Amino acid sequence: MERLGTGIGWRPEIADAVERMPGIDWVEAVAENVCSGHLPDSLRRLRERGVTVVPHGVSLGLGGADRPDAGRLTALAERAEALGSPLVTEHIAFVRAGGPLTASPRLEAGHLLPVPRTRDALDVLCENVRIAQDALPVPLAVENIAALICWPGEEMTEGQFLYELADRTGVRLLIDVANLHTNHVNRGEDPSKALAELPLEAIAYVHVAGGVERDGVWHDSHAHPVPRPVLDVLTDLASRVSPAGVLLERDENFPEPAELENELGAIRRALEAGAVERVKTELRSAAGATAAQRTEPEGVGAELFGEADAARQERTRGGDGEPPVGIRATRREGARGEAPAGAGAARRGDETGAAGATRGAFGLPPQEGVDEARQRLGLAQAALLSALVAGTPVPEGFDRARVGVQARALAAKRADVVAKVAPELPVILGGEYRTAFLGYAQTHSMTDGYRRDALTFAEHLLSTGRPGDTRARRELREWWLERSGPKPRSRRPVHRLAHATRRALARR
């Protein structure tokens, strides 16, 4: 894996500051916010200076029940090529559900939601990752996400799930240490145990970000400073492996550049502390090995022992010195500890260990039963997402209070993003915007992205005679008419009058 160094998430709001920051080796840009045919000038200048740019996707939904959309994969591939990126990254998450697979309305979450750590979900995810790998011109890495809710009946820990995924597909991992901390607070999961179960050699790079705790729930906001517990998880990771790259994420509520530079300095110090611990561990291991050699049998017996051990190791290694697939699987079973209840009850036809890894390593077709797994996963995800965004009953087994927290968080995020993609709406509606949008979101789920959501919200208000202020309602109507048609309305008064006349005649 190419050494990346220390980086920061590139966002338009801090583009100028990022260009001036010292010690920035690389940046990451949200893929969906970059047009491959017209790169932002700031990214172009960074590329010309030799700064690596990695596109970070958020909309593929690799953890969803459907296969990845070919158009989205093509767009991601084009961005990787336009930026000259060494890899692309996405998330282990689902972002939409419903549709033909479940014969139910298509729903969009507008956010990353966790997949259940089950064999069904793993089988589907592995096939989706392989589809994406085949469509992309560079390697793919996938990121663990933060979660507010737990799926009932999970069969694996996060570390086991990620190990299986990497082992069966060869995909790289983007480990977000802030998300490990989030899952510690929200789900009681031990970050150190998760790190101990990970395939460290598969880590492409690491994310670090801030968040905030409210009412005992940690929100991975990317809008607050990086807290000490997250830096401690980073130090723990760095004590086990030297990551190729580490990147600071900040998506909103941007501070002064000096504060971002201070956070980058704290990240470097956390890495250095971990490196010191790693060297100490290596020295202790070396000293222990030396002491063990001194106690080995001497003479002919020692020679025979040494030769037998060497032959045994040679038989279990491939030509490059790495353990073959079956040995990796066996080593994994001994390294990952106890599985959650039910993890050992694999269904007939499941592939685990050497068989699954071999299939992934040699590009063999997926095992039978993935289509059935997609159906089961699709129904489960559609039921949960419907409860979150459409107000349907919470599926059995979920924590209703946590589902409520997640639903409110999704609605709040929708309001924030719509305000960004349609900044005129908060201006037109003033202080009523947020209350009006949250009320709309309770009965109107998102079905086709944030821009369509903004138009549907405006149409909803106008159809109910809002806003009450006549001038604001007229401005909202003009805004909606300007953007709802197949092409922008003409600014010439004569043309606008003709369009208005045709509309009036059509209504008769």
User: CA nearest 422: which of 459, 469, 463?
Assistant: 459
Q: How confident is the model at residue 289 (pLDDT cuts 50, 70, 90)?
A: confident
- pLDDT given for residue 294 in this prediction: 72
Q: How confident is the model at residue 308 (pLDDT cuts 50, 70, 90)?
A: very low
Q: How confident is the model at residue 340 (pLDDT cuts 50, 70, 90)?
A: very low
Extract the tokens encoding 45: 């200048």
- pLDDT given for residue 291 in this prediction: 77
- Residue type present at position 342: G
Cβ atoms 114, 145 nearer than 8 A: yes
Determine the average pLDDT of the residues in 46-75.
Answer: 97
Choice among 342-346, 412-416, 443-447 with the minimum mean pLDDT: 342-346
State the Cα–Cα distance between residues 110 and 112, nearest whole angstrom.
7
Cβ atoms 173, 204 nearer than 8 A: yes
The 10s digit of each residue's pLDDT in 395-405 is 999 999 999 99
> Is residue 109 over pLDDT 90?
yes
Choice among 66-70, 84-88, 355-359, 436-440 with the minimum mean pLDDT: 355-359
**Average pLDDT score over the chain:** 85
- pLDDT given for residue 341 in this prediction: 39
> Is residue 40 over pLDDT 50?
yes
User: CA nearest 422: which of 465, 480, 477?
Assistant: 480
The 10s digit of each residue's pLDDT in 158-185 is 999 999 999 999 999 999 999 999 999 9
Residue that wins the pLDDT comparison between 1 and 219: 219
- pLDDT given for residue 310 in this prediction: 46
Total-model pTM: 0.80
The 10s digit of each residue's pLDDT in 468-494 is 999 999 999 999 999 887 665 555 555
Cβ atoms 92, 145 nearer than 8 A: yes
Cα angle 377, 379, 382; round to 5: 105
State the Cα–Cα distance between residues 249 and 270, nearest whole angstrom.
16
Q: What percent of the chain has pLDDT over 70?
A: 81
Q: How confident is the model at residue 71 (pLDDT cuts 50, 70, 90)?
A: very high
Antiparallel, parallel or unpaired: β 217-219 and 212-214: antiparallel
The 10s digit of each residue's pLDDT in 73-104 is 999 999 999 999 999 999 999 999 999 999 99
Q: What percent of the chain has pLDDT over 90?
A: 71
> Is residue 316 over pLDDT 50?
no
State the Cα–Cα distance between residues 87 and 244, nearest whole angstrom.
13
In 3-state terms the chain splits into helix, strand, coil percentages (rounded to 5) of: 55, 10, 35
The 10s digit of each residue's pLDDT in 133-164 is 999 999 999 999 999 999 999 999 999 999 99
Antiparallel, parallel or unpaired: β 94-99 and 140-143: unpaired
- pLDDT given for residue 506 in this prediction: 52
